[in-house]
């Protein structure tokens, strides 16, 4: 297993739709193991393959429930059905989100409170999960990565403009910038 570098916004793989997984082989198993190790070291609650430079429709997640029961897994070639999104501004205290590809920054973003997600695991067994609250947010966030969308792309004003300024001030928004969890210290 290996910790992989996490791409920062501006890397082309982050801004294009990832390809369906067609080969379930040892290379995919290694990718998923590395994704878990990278997510854990970062630390994060989810990590999509494009975030480590791999344009495949795969993400891992680790988000325990309110009783600290583990909810950890991988979803390959997911399909996401999103519940309604309330048409009101995101709460700046309770609906704040961050991303390992925009490290150190957090902004409010309105998301659906419930989702249904399905796909397959590494053995191509069906996976189907109903999620609410923050667990639903994790799935929406990671699924967006597979479609080439970062959460900062969805921000309402004034947060959208503030995020763009921070990205520019950090010298991000161009190819070739990444960080290695556990090794690089990023300020933001």
Give residue 124's domain range: 6-179
Is 112 part of a structural domain of the chain?
Answer: yes
**Which segments of the chain have a pLDDT < 50?**
187-188
pTM: 0.95
Q: What is the pLDDT of residue 185?
A: 62
Give φ, ψ of 15 to 5 degrees.
Answer: -120, 25
| The one catalytic residue among 92, 97, 142, 187 | 142
CATH number at residue 58: 3.90.45.10
Is 1 part of a structural domain of the chain?
Answer: no
Question: Total structural domains in the chain?
Answer: 1
| Cα–Cα distance, 34 to 30 (Å, whole number) | 6
Q: What is the pLDDT of residue 187?
A: 42
120, β-bridge pairs: 76, 126
| Cα–Cα distance, 144 to 129 (Å, whole number) | 17
142 is catalytic: yes
Take residue 85 and report the two structure tokens written for it.
Answer: 């999104």
Hey, what's the torsion of the CAs at 61, 114, 65, 30, to 10 degrees?
A: -10
Residue 15 assigned to a binding site: no
Residue 163, sorted as left (phi over 0), alpha (psi -120 to 50) or beta, turns out to be alpha
| Cα–Cα distance, 3 to 5 (Å, whole number) | 7
On average, the pLDDT of the chain sits at: 95
How far is residue 158 CA from its own chain's centroid? Answer: 23
Tens digit of each residue's pLDDT (9 = 90 or more) over 7-61? 999 999 999 999 999 999 999 999 999 999 999 999 999 999 999 999 999 999 9
| Cα–Cα distance, 2 to 14 (Å, whole number) | 21
Is 154 part of a structural domain of the chain?
Answer: yes
Is 186 part of a structural domain of the chain?
Answer: no
Q: What is the pLDDT of residue 186?
A: 56
Is 125 part of a structural domain of the chain?
Answer: yes
Is 30 part of a structural domain of the chain?
Answer: yes
Residue 145 assigned to a binding site: yes
Is 97 part of a structural domain of the chain?
Answer: yes
Q: What is the pLDDT of residue 188?
A: 37
Is 187 part of a structural domain of the chain?
Answer: no
């Amino acid at each position: 297993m290996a910790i992989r570098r996490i791409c920062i916004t501006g890397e082309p793989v982050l801004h294009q739709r990832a390809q369906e997984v067609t080969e379930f082989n040892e290379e995919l198993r290694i990718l998923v193991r590395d994704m878990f190790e990278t997510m854990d070291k970062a630390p994060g609650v989810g990590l999509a393959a494009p975030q480590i430079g791999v344009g495949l429709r795969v993400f891992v997640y680790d988000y325990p429930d309110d009783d600290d029961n583990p909810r950890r897994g991988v979803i390959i070639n997911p399909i996401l059905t999103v519940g309604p999104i309330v048409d009101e501004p995101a709460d700046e205290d309770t609906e704040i989100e961050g991303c390992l590809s925009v490290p150190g920054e957090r902004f409010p973003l309105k998301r659906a409170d419930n989702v249904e997600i399905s796909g397959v695991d590494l053995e191509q067994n069906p996976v189907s999960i109903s999620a609410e609250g923050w667990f639903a947010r994790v799935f929406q966030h990671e699924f967006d990565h597979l479609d080439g969308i970062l959460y900062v792309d969805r921000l309402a004003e004034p947060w959208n403009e503030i995020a763009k300024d921070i990205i520019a001030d950090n010298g991000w928004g161009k190819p070739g910038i990444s960080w290695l969890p556990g090794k690089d210290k990023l300020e933001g």
